[in-house]
């Protein structure tokens, strides 16, 4: 088998992503599907359940170090946050704060809160966020991965940005309101969600990488994600007012510099990039370009 | 509930509060001690420009008054829905605000949120649900999504959804539902100063929401799942 | 949703040593998830199915009999969440589940 063959992160199931990310054979699942801890609410809507409620959690090793991992299955009800799904992730983070693995790795792939369980999902998202903060307070870095086919939207999008670092492929999408929601509520002039190029340059990994939201841009290749996570597993500084103020300055400058832009190509032009070419650039090319541009 | 009614009912020992078209800032005295106030009003949307103001105010309070309780007054219509908001990476802004809330907590500032108007989805996550305790007052309504929209997306007829909403608290808008699910700690109808005094004087550092959701019957599965993960 | 349950006599050969359980497939439209678990069933195989497409009990039975004849597994519990997959997809997932369960 060609060791360089492409193993798409985008096409893989959540379980396949975990298996490819961690050291072979080291993954051990908490609350396995054999326990059948399914959603207690989907039956009310006559909807099928999944034995893991779309969230797989457990521990394993990455480059020999103990890590915890959670992965959302984006194809099950859009990877949505329901009561059980979010409780599994919250439980994992609380356990991490107690037992202090080298890192928690979160494979996000979620449209946000599950509507059939809207209140449980909404509260669940914020319990996950509190779990991330408590793990970080205990010295455990939380690293998020974006590259799944559903994207990372709504409560999941906000949660992912609370991680210490985000690693994304250009296929990864991140926003609060998804393009379809903006179109439904505000009209197609506000956002044509069927314009795929528009969706990707607005919410996709490249835009988020150029803004610094995403620390590392990788190819859609599971081993590339693995390498990037290994590189990111360093102890993080504790949360301090001075650091947050600095981050806030960066975010304010972004509004000042690009707040009048209505399209990503305008932003990239202002950054000094060959705006028309960004979509076609590989992640290596874009990383090289980023070194030369205005950093805001 | 109108903001001015809330303020006059809450603060009987003196307060100094400034309100603009969407922002509420200031301080007040509760049980003889100062507390900081930060909030939104007029059902504002929460977008990148609102978030940077709220974050800055938060960090300013933490720097100047570590250990002082912060009262978050919540009234918003959710995140501002626009391409240009997402273009600038709105989730990153909201996360910065959440981190500001966390750093306040680390500095010993108790965070108490009072839902007095609307609160919706991403707006509630960013400003409100990050508090140690969330309470509601009459007129305060929580919502993730309107029933009509849930009906469209889930393809369940509205009448059936409404009938279901009468029996379970897991999806429909309304503070009563959020309370049953553990998301709201208390629903205040009277005696605001006493109740606020009690919260300010208590240890509210433990996240009780899963436990409350279980006790109140809104979330029967979550607590056991978390306990089992901790013991796995 | 409809719940179906089937039990068959298993084949003579026990499974080779391998994982205690596997999950294949996803509960998405026209798809299904199969959880295959090693279990002492006295030599039988059991299939517990929750399906979003009601009134297809006979079709399920035919697919399962075909699978049992083809692969002859023994002492496996198959738990299925089906979201209206067509029979060839069901057969595929069953084959995949057994294959992965048998890998060490």
pLDDT digits (tens, 9 = 90+) for A176-194: 999 998 998 889 999 999 9
Q: How far is residue A88's CA from residue B229's CA, in Å, rounded to a whole number?
A: 7
Statement: residue A213 has pLDDT above 70 = yes
Average pLDDT over residues B59-88: 97
Which candidate in A30, A50, A75, A77 is best for mutational testing of the C interface (most C CBs within 10 A)?
A50
Pairwise CB contact (< 8 Å): C79 & A73:
no
Q: Which chain C positions have a beta carbon within 8 Å of A49's beta carbon? A: 27, 50, 81
How close are the terminal C-alpha atoms of chain A, in Å? 43
What is residue A5's predicted lDDT score, i.e. its pLDDT? 85
ipTM: 0.97
Nearest Cα residue to B127 out of B69, B174, B72, B206 = B72
The CATH number that applies at residue A139 is 3.90.226.10
Q: How far is residue B38's CA from residue B41's CA, in Å, rounded to a whole number?
A: 10
pLDDT tens for each residue of A17-49:
999 999 999 999 999 999 999 999 999 999 999
* Contact status of C89 with chain A (Cβ, < 8 Å): no
- What is the pLDDT confidence band of residue B202, given thresholds at 50, 70 and 90? very high
Average pLDDT over residues B148-158: 87
Q: How far is residue A39's CA from residue A49's CA, in Å, rounded to a whole number?
A: 6
Please report whether residue A263 resides in a domain: no
Helices (H), A101-153: 118-137
Average pLDDT over residues A120-129: 98
Average pLDDT over residues A115-138: 97
Average pLDDT over residues B168-172: 95
Nearest CA in chain A to B178: A119
Q: Assign C53 to helix, strand or coil.
A: coil
Pairwise CB contact (< 8 Å): A13 & C26:
yes
Range of the domain at A164: 14-174+213-237
Q: How far is CA B18 from CA B26, B33, B40, B52, in A?
A: 6, 19, 11, 18
Statement: residue C104 has pLDDT above 70 = no
* Cβ-based burial of B203 (10 A; exposed 0-12, middle 13-18, buried ≥19): exposed
What is residue B153's predicted lDDT score, i.e. its pLDDT? 82
- What is the pLDDT confidence band of residue B18, given thresholds at 50, 70 and 90? very high
* Contact status of C27 with chain A (Cβ, < 8 Å): yes
Please report whether residue A222 resides in a domain: yes
* Contact status of C23 with chain A (Cβ, < 8 Å): yes
Statement: residue A1 has pLDDT above 80 = no
Statement: residue B163 has pLDDT above 70 = yes
> B with C: 3 or more CB pairs under 8 Å?
no
Q: Which chain A positions have a beta carbon within 8 Å of C27's beta carbon? A: 48-50, 76-77
Q: How far is residue A145's CA from residue A216's CA, in Å, rounded to a whole number?
A: 10
Output the DSSP codes for A209-277: HHTTSSSEEE-S-HHHHHHHHHHH-SPPPPP-HHHHHHHHHHHHHHHHHHTT--SHHHHHHHHTS-GGG
* Contact status of C75 with chain A (Cβ, < 8 Å): no
Please report whether residue A208 resides in a domain: no
- Tokens (6 digits) for A112: 């946000």
Q: How far is residue A123's CA from residue B122's CA, in Å, rounded to a whole number?
A: 11
| β-pairing verdict for B44-46 and B70-74 | unpaired
Q: Which chain A positions have a beta carbon within 8 Å of C79's beta carbon? A: 36, 51
Query: CA A92, A49, C87 angle in degrees (round to 5)?
Result: 130
Nearest CA in chain A to C52: A48
Map tokens 């832009």 to a residue: A261
What is residue A3's predicted lDDT score, i.e. its pLDDT? 59
Pairwise CB contact (< 8 Å): B183 & A41:
no
Helix (H) or strand (E) holding C99: helix C87-101
Please report whether residue A188 resides in a domain: no
Pairwise CB contact (< 8 Å): C27 & A46:
no
- Tokens (6 digits) for B1: 């509930």
Statement: residue B105 has pLDDT above 60 = yes
Q: Which CATH number fits the domain B3-231, given the four candidates 1.10.1510.10, 3.40.50.720, 3.90.226.10, 2.60.120.560? A: 3.90.226.10
Please tell me the CATH code under which domain C2-101 is placed: 3.30.230
Average pLDDT over residues A139-155: 97
Q: What is the mean pLDDT of chain B?
A: 96
Number of folded domains in chain A?
1
Q: How far is residue C22's CA from residue A20's CA, in Å, rounded to a whole number?
A: 16
Nearest CA in chain B to A252: B52
Sign of torsion, CA C57 C58 C59 C62?
positive
Statement: residue C17 has pLDDT above 80 = yes
Residue A200, sorted as left (phi over 0), alpha (psi -120 to 50) or beta, turns out to be alpha
Q: Which chain C positions have a beta carbon within 8 Å of A36's beta carbon? A: 79
- What is the pLDDT confidence band of residue A2, given thresholds at 50, 70 and 90? low
Statement: residue A156 has pLDDT above 90 = yes
Nearest Cα residue to B186 out of B149, B194, A149, B41 = B194
Q: Which residues pair with B136 in a beta bridge?
A: B115, B187
Please report whether residue A289 resides in a domain: no
Q: What string of H, E and C letters represents the secondary structure of chain B?
A: CCHHHHHHHHCCCCEEEEECCCEEEEEEEECCEEEEEEEECCCEEECHHHHHHHHHHHHHHHHHCCCCCEEEEECEEEECCCHHHHHCCHHHHHHHHHHHHHHHHHCCCCEEEEECCEEEHHHHHHCCCCCCEEEECCCCEEECCCHHHHHHHHCCCHHHHHHHHHHCCCCCCCHHHHHHCCCCCEECCCCHHHHHHHHHHCCCCCCCHHHHHHHCCCCCCHHHHHHHHHHC
Extents of the domains making up chain C: 2-101
Quote the minimal CA–CA distance from A284 to chain B in Å.
22
Please report whether residue A256 resides in a domain: no
What is residue A125's predicted lDDT score, i.e. its pLDDT? 98
* Contact status of C33 with chain A (Cβ, < 8 Å): yes
What is residue A166's predicted lDDT score, i.e. its pLDDT? 98
Statement: residue A296 has pLDDT above 70 = no
Q: Assign A188 to helix, strand or coil.
A: coil
pLDDT tens for each residue of A238-262:
899 999 999 999 999 999 999 999 9
Query: CA A219, A225, A226 angle in degrees (round to 5)?
Result: 145
How close are the terminal C-alpha atoms of chain C, in Å? 35
Beta strand segments in A25-95, E: 28-30, 55-62, 65-72
Rounded percentage of chain A residues whose pLDDT exceeds 70: 98
Q: What is the mean pLDDT of chain C?
A: 96
The backbone torsions φ and ψ at residue A174, rounded to the nearest 5 degrees and listed phi first, read -145, 125
Statement: residue A59 has pLDDT above 60 = yes
Q: How far is CA A6 from CA A17, A164, B121, in A?
A: 13, 28, 38
Q: What is the mean pLDDT of chain A?
A: 95
Rounded percentage of chain B residues whose pLDDT exceeds 70: 100
**C-beta of residue B112 within 8 angstroms of C-beta of residue B133:** yes
How many Cβ contacts (< 8 angstroms) between chains A and C? 45
Average pLDDT over residues A93-118: 97
Q: How far is residue A72's CA from residue A57's CA, in Å, rounded to a whole number?
A: 9
Quote the minimal CA–CA distance from B12 to chain A in Å.
32
Residue B26: HSE in the Cβ half-sphere, 13 Å Cα cutoff: 15
pLDDT tens for each residue of A76-95:
999 999 999 999 999 999 99
Beta strand segments in chain C, E: 2-9, 21-24, 31-38, 44-51, 76-83
């Amino acid at each position: 088998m060609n060791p360089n063959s492409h193993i798409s992160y985008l096409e893989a199931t959540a379980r396949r992503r975990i298996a490819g990310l961690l050291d072979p054979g080291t993954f051990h699942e908490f609350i396995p599907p054999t326990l059948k801890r399914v959603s207690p609410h989907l039956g009310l809507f006559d909807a099928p359940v999944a034995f893991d409620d779309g969230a797989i959690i457990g521990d394993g090793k990455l480059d020999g170090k103990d890590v915890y991992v959670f992965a959302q299955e984006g194809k099950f009800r859009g990877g949505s946050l329901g009561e059980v799904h979010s409780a599994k992730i919250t439980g994992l983070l609380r356990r991490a704060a107690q037992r202090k693995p080298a890192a928690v790795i979160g494979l996000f792939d979620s449209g946000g809160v599950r509507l059939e369980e809207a209140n449980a999902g909404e509260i669940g998202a914020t319990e996950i966020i509190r779990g991330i903060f408590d793990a970080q307070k205990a010295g455990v870095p939380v690293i998020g991965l974006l590259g799944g086919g559903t994207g990372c939207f709504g409560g999941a999008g906000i949660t992912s940005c609370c991680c210490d670092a985000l690693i994304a492929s250009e296929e990864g999408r991140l926003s609060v309101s998804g393009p379809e929601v903006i179109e439904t509520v505000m009209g197609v002039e506000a956002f044509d969600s069927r314009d795929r190029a528009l969706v990707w340059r607005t919410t996709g990994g490249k835009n988020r990488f150029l803004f610094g939201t995403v620390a590392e841009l990788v190819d859609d290749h599971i081993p590339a994600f693995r390498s990037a996570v290994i590189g990111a597993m360093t102890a993080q500084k504790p949360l301090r007012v001075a650091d947050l103020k600095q981050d806030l300055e960066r975010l304010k400058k972004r509004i000042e510099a690009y707040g009048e832009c209505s399209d990503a190509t305008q932003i990239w032009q202002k950054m000094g990039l060959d705006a028309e070419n960004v979509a076609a650039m590989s992640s290596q090319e874009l990383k090289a370009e980023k070194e030369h541009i205005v950093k805001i | 509930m109108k903001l001015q009614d809330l303020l006059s009912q809450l603060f009987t020992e003196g307060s100094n509060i400034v309100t603009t078209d969407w922002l509420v800032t200031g301080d007040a005295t509760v049980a003889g001690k100062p507390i900081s106030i930060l909030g939104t009003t007029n059902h504002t949307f929460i977008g990148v420009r609102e978030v940077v103001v709220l974050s800055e105010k938060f960090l300013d309070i933490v720097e100047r008054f570590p250990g002082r309780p912060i009262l978050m007054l919540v009234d918003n219509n959710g995140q501002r829905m626009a391409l240009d908001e997402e273009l600038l990476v709105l989730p990153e802004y909201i996360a910065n605000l959440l981190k500001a809330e966390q750093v306040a907590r680390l500095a010993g500032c108790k965070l108490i949120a009072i839902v007095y108007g609307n609160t919706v989805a991403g707006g509630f996550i960013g400003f409100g649900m990050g508090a140690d305790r969330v309470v509601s007052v009459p007129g305060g309504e929580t919502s993730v999504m309107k029933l009509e929209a849930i009906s469209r997306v889930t393809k369940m007829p509205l009448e059936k959804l409404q009938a279901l909403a009468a029996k379970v608290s897991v999806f429909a808008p309304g503070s009563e539902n959020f309370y049953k699910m553990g998301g709201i700690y208390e629903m205040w109808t009277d005696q605001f100063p006493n109740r606020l005094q009690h919260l300010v004087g208590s240890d509210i550092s433990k996240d009780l929401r899963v436990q409350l959701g279980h006790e109140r019957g809104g979330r029967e599965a979550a607590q056991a799942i978390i306990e089992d993960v901790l013991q796995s | 949703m409809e719940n179906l349950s089937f039990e068959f006599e298993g084949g003579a050969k026990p499974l080779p040593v391998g994982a205690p359980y596997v999950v294949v497939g996803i509960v998405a439209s026209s798809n299904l998830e199969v959880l295959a678990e090693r279990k002492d069933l006295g030599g039988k195989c059991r299939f517990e199915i929750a399906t979003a497409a009601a009134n297809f009990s006979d079709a399920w039975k035919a697919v399962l009999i075909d699978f049992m004849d083809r692969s002859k597994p023994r002492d496996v519990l198959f738990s299925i969440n089906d979201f209206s997959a067509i029979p060839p997809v069901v057969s595929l997932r069953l084959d995949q589940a057994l294959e992965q369960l048998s890998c060490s």
